[in-house]
Amino acid sequence: MAHSPRHREHIVRTGRRNLAVDIAGAQRGWPVFLMHGTPGSRNGPRPRSIVLHRLGVRLISYDRPGYGGSSRLPGRRVADAAADVAAIADDLGLDGFSVVGRSGGGPHALACAALLPERVRRTAVLVGLAPAGAAGLDWFGGMTDANVRDYGAAEHDVPVLAEQLRLRAERTMDDPGSLLALLVEQMTAADRRVVAGVPIRRQLTDAYAEALRQGPHGWIDDVLALRADWGITLADIRMPVRLWHGADDNFAPASHTRWLAEQIPGAQLHVQPRSAHFGAVEVLPEILAWLADPVERAAVRSDAGR
C-alpha cells in the first residue's frame, strides 16, 4: 500500500540512512518533536493544523528507523533516537526545541532529554513505559496478554516475536483496519470511547498502514529496544518534564509512569482517572501548550540574543 498522500514526506539524510519527516502547524511556531507509538508513524493522531497554529506550535514528527519511509537501523537502541532528532533539527536549522513521546515513543523522548540537554527545553511523556528491570516495578502487571507475550518474547524468544509481528504486519497491510480491530478487543471502556469516532479511527488506521509498509522490522526493532538497555540515565534529565498517564491503561500500565516520576528529578506527574491509553490523544493539545510555553520561548530568545 502506498503511503497516504495527505501527509508531506520530507527526507533527511543521516549517514547512509533516510529519515521520513512530517511538519505541521505554525511555520514560525515553537518546534516540538512528536515521537510516535509502537507501532506507529509520523502521520499518527495529532491536533488539526488550525489548533497547532492557535497554540503557536510547529509540530515535527518522523518515522523511527524501519517504519514508514525511514531506513532500518538493525540493533538500534532507545538512545539512538537522540542522534536522529539532532540530525532532523540540524536539517531544519533548529537550535532549541521541545519533545513529546506517546506510548513507545515516550522512552525515545526521554533519550532526547537525557542526551541533548543543550537543545531540549521541555519534555513530556504520555502513557510511556519504564525500562526493563526497573527496580521495584512489576513490569508486566496489569498489561494485556498480547503485550505480555510480545515483550516477553523480546527477551526469551526473538524468532517467535519476529514471526508474531510479521503475521500481524501482513494482516494489517491486507486489511488496514485489522490491527485497530484487534486492539479494540483488548481495550478498556475508556479507550473504546476515545476511538469510537470516525476521524480518530481513520488516523490510527492510516498511521498503522504507513508504519508497516516496509514490513514488520520497525515494530520488531522497537519492541527489542524497549526491553533492552535504553542507553541513558534518567537521573541526568534536568529540564522540566511532564508525565501523563490514564489510570485505566492496560497497554502500558500507569505504574510505569509512577516509577518514572520517582527517577526523574522534579518531574511533574498526572494520572488521569477514567482515562486510559488512547486518552493521550485527547490530552495532547494541553501538553503541546505547555511545551510551547511563551515564557520558555521568550527565555530562549533572550539567551540567543546575548
Cell triple for residue 215? 514490513
137: how many CB neighbours lie within 10 A of its CB?
A: 18
Q: What is the pLDDT of residues 136-156, one digit of tens each?
A: 999 999 999 999 999 999 999
The answer, yes or no, to whether the previous bond of 39 is cis (omega within 30 of 0) is yes
Average pLDDT, stretch 53-60? 97
pTM of the model: 0.93
What class, spelled out in words, does domain 10-304 have in CATH?
alpha beta
Q: What is the pLDDT of residues 244-297, one digit of tens each?
A: 999 999 999 999 999 999 999 999 999 999 999 999 999 999 999 999 986 555
Cα distance between residue 68 and residue 58, in whole Å: 21
pLDDT beyond 70 at 5: no
Instruction: Provide the mean pLDDT of the chain.
Output: 93
High-pLDDT (> 70) share of the chain, %: 93
Give me the count of residues in the chain: 306
* Reported confidence tier of residue 8, pLDDT bands at 50, 70, 90: low
Q: What is the pLDDT of residues 26-48, one digit of tens each?
A: 999 999 999 999 999 999 999 99
Cell triple for residue 247? 489510570
Cα distance between residue 14 and residue 86, in whole Å: 10
H or E element in which residue 31 lies? strand 30-35
pLDDT beyond 50 at 3: no
Cα distance between residue 259 and residue 128, in whole Å: 11
Q: Position of cell 539532532?
A: 86
Cα distance between residue 80 and residue 70, in whole Å: 14
- Nearest Cα residue to 67 out of 11, 15, 20: 20
Cell triple for residue 134? 526497573
In sequence order, what are the residues at sequence separation of 6 or more whose Cβ sits closer than 8 angstroms to the Cβ of residue 65?
17, 19, 71, 72, 73, 76, 80, 84, 218, 221
85: how many CB neighbours lie within 10 A of its CB?
A: 26
pLDDT beyond 90 at 1: no
Q: What is the pLDDT of residue 9?
A: 74
Average pLDDT, stretch 45-61? 97
Cell triple for residue 36? 510516535
Cα distance between residue 225 and residue 78, in whole Å: 6
Q: What is the pLDDT of residues 199-253, one digit of tens each?
A: 999 999 999 999 999 999 999 999 999 999 999 999 999 999 999 999 999 999 9
Q: What is the pLDDT of residue 294?
A: 65
Q: Any idea where the domains of the chain sit in the sequence?
A: 10-304
Spatial contact of 220 and 76, defined as CB atoms under 8 Å apart? no
75: how many CB neighbours lie within 10 A of its CB?
A: 10
Distance of CA 73 to the CA centre of its chain: 17
* Reported confidence tier of residue 100, pLDDT bands at 50, 70, 90: very high
Spatial contact of 57 and 85, defined as CB atoms under 8 Å apart? no
In sequence order, what are the residues at sequence separation of 6 or more whose Cβ sits closer than 8 angstroms to the Cβ of residue 164?
149, 150, 153
What single-letter DSSP state applies at residue 48? -
Cα distance between residue 21 and residue 31, in whole Å: 13
